[in-house]
Every structure is written in C-alpha cells, then in structure tokens.
Structure 1
Amino acid sequence: MKSFLVSLLAVAVAASPLAPRDAQGTCDQPDGAPTQVNNSTVCPCWSWYKIQNGDDCGPVADKHGITKQQLESWNPWLNIDGYECVGMWPRSNVCVGITPPDNLPPPPCNKNAPYPQGKGTVCNCKQWYKIQNGDDCAPVAAKFSISKDQLLKWNPWLTVDGYECAGMWPQSNVCVAI
C-alpha cells in the first residue's frame, strides 16, 4: 500500500505546475533551459539532463561531475515522502549544473559585488544590475544613463568572440556605474 501511495504522490508531483521559481517566487531559467521544469528546481540552472529509463540519482550525478546531494538539493522533487530518488521519471529534466559559463567569483577589488559576474569586470564598481531575459546592451546602458561602450568596457566578458553583448546571460550581474 505504501508503494502505491508513493507512486501516486510521484505522479502528482510530476503533474505539478511547471514554472521555474526561486525562493522569492521569481526567476526565469536561462536561455537553453528545457521548456518544462518542475517549479521546485533551483533557479537559475545552467546545465540540464533529460532522465532516461533506468536512471538513478547516483549514476546521473557521477556522469555530470556533481554529488548526489547536489543533484537532490537542486531538484528537491526527486525525493518524495522520505524516499530518495523516486521522482526520476523518464523524460523529466533535472538540473545538473548551477555555475554560469565562464564565470569566476568577484575580483578582490569588488569585495561586496553580487554573484555571479563575469571575468574582468572593472574594479570599484558602485552600482550593479542583474541581467534579465531579453536584455541587450544598449537598452541596459540607456536605463543607467551610460553609453553602450562604457557598459562593454566595464564588463568585457559581455563581448564573446568579437560579438558585442553575446555574453548577456540572465541572472549575471553587470557593472553600470563606477
């Protein structure tokens, strides 16, 4: 009977509303995220894996270079009613990476800077802006009465392989005043 209840609960969790949220109830997963993500999945998540038949938490975590505890904490819906990893439903998407690409901790000169931010951000930044889905350099610069050139100079990681603003990753922080 208990296994039936666990199965029933697992189906209910899998059928729950799919709207990625953070602790405040607001978060948009970065571009490239699957369209259907359980609403208790960590946000933002930068790397995903689609569960296959026969998958289990330990081997999936090992395959992606993370611990089973990280996998379960980023995807709390995997554990149901005290049973570990019973939510591994095929074709569900699990978060397997929370570090943005090419991201480093804030440089020592920006000790109280928000995380994450890109490599090479100008020192002694006085104001930060968290990038949102759909943001582009020119409108963000205009919002803070600076030029696009200033934004790119203060945040050189926004330019990727010669393409300006290609590094505008949602949830990363850019310096908008020095």
Structure 2
Amino acid sequence: MGYKAALILGLLPQLLSAAIVCDMSAAASKGDTCESFVKAWGTTVEEFEALNPGVSCPSLTEGRKYCVIGTVTGGPDPTSTTTTTLKTTTKATTTTSSSKYEPTQPGVPANCDKFHLVASGDQCDTIEAKYGITDAQFKAWNPDVDEGCTNLWLNYYVCVHVPEATTTPSVPDPTPTPPAPQPQMPGVVSNCKKFHKVKAGDNCYSIDTAAGITLDQFRSWNTQIDAGCTNLWVNYYVCIGV
C-alpha cells in the first residue's frame, strides 16, 4: 500500500502537466474491469489509464463514464510530446472531436463537417436520399457500417458530408395525379386526361365540336357510346382527351 501511494505521488507532477483531450467516452457496465472494458474498445490498459488519470484498475464504477477515444499530450519534459490515441476498431479510423456531435459511430472521419443522428426506423438508403449522397459515399465516410446496413447505432451520429464532396439534390416526391371525376359513363378509357360532364341537350356532335375532336376519337375513348350517340347519360362524365 505504501509503495502504491509513493508511486502515485511520484507520478502526480507528470499527470498534472499532461493535457487530455477526450473525443469520446463510454459508461462502464456492471462487472466491467479495466481489462474487459479496453478489450471491447480495442485498446490497452496502459492507454486507458493514460486517458483516465486516477482510475483504480482493475475495478470500474458501474455507470461512470470513462474516456475511450482521446489524446494525451505533455509530460515531465517540456521539449517532448507524447500522444496516445485510442481507436474503437482494429481499422485505421478516426473520429471527430466536435462535442456537438457525440456520440459518433466508430470510423467517422475527422474532417466530417455534416452529421445525421440515427433515429428509429432509419436505413442507409433513407439517410442517403435525405442528404443527396450515394451509398458509396455514405459507406466511405462511415466505414464501420456493414454492406447490408444492419449495424446503424440508434442515437449515434453518422457522417453525411466531408469537405469538397459532391452531392446531388434529393428528388422530390412526384405530384400525385388528381383522381378522375365521378360518376363516369361506362367504358371510359383508363388513360383519359380530360373530361366533359354531360348536360341536358348535349349530343356527340356538340361535345366533339367544343372539344375539337372527331367522332371516331370520342367513341374510341368512350367505348360504350353507341353509333347513333343515343345513350349519353346526363350528369355523367365522358372522356374528351387522352
């Protein structure tokens, strides 16, 4: 015990002179130890202790947040700088240090300048469509997202833009076609675009003349109208244009 206290006192000036910039922290779960915690984050106990001065390994406090990605600079020699960087995966990836967008999914590039907070129901294609980016761009900026997009983390930020990246404007939803007027005469063609409501006194000739169409056209668009045009129904719609 006396030796440990002496060791801590001996290291105190070095710890006080060191500068720690924590980019990401995570809470310890019940039963976590320093060894099990750093194994999950792909680092070492030594790096973990450097980012969390005062931690009492091997035990961790359940629910307490510990720094898992960050940088330690400084030391007893003012002319030298020591940097320790922890990674969340075995890939050579980095993460943004912007506190405004935390936590981020592992692998987000340091130069990311636009983020999206993953919400329930989000998929890669819906995120990509929202920001006008391609699947290749999204996967390049979020390399830890798998090919099938099955590992998006809810309430974590993903990258949706980096400087000088080319994006395409999202395509607006097409304007829905208004429903055809009703009621219609039987036999009106399904692709009819223009209608006329039959009124008292109408006949095929008057309708065709007003619409600028021929009788053959009129009867081809209203297939149940007889050759003598004797069965027009008042207050029903007929087709006068496709």
Same fold flag (TM > 0.5): no
Q: Where on the TM-score scale, by shorter chain, does this alignment land: which range?
A: 0.3 to 0.5
**TM-score normalised to structure 1 length:** 0.38
**TM-score normalised to structure 2 length:** 0.28
Whose radius of gyration is greater, 1 or 2?
2
Report which structure shows greater RCO (CA 8 Å, sep ≥6): 1
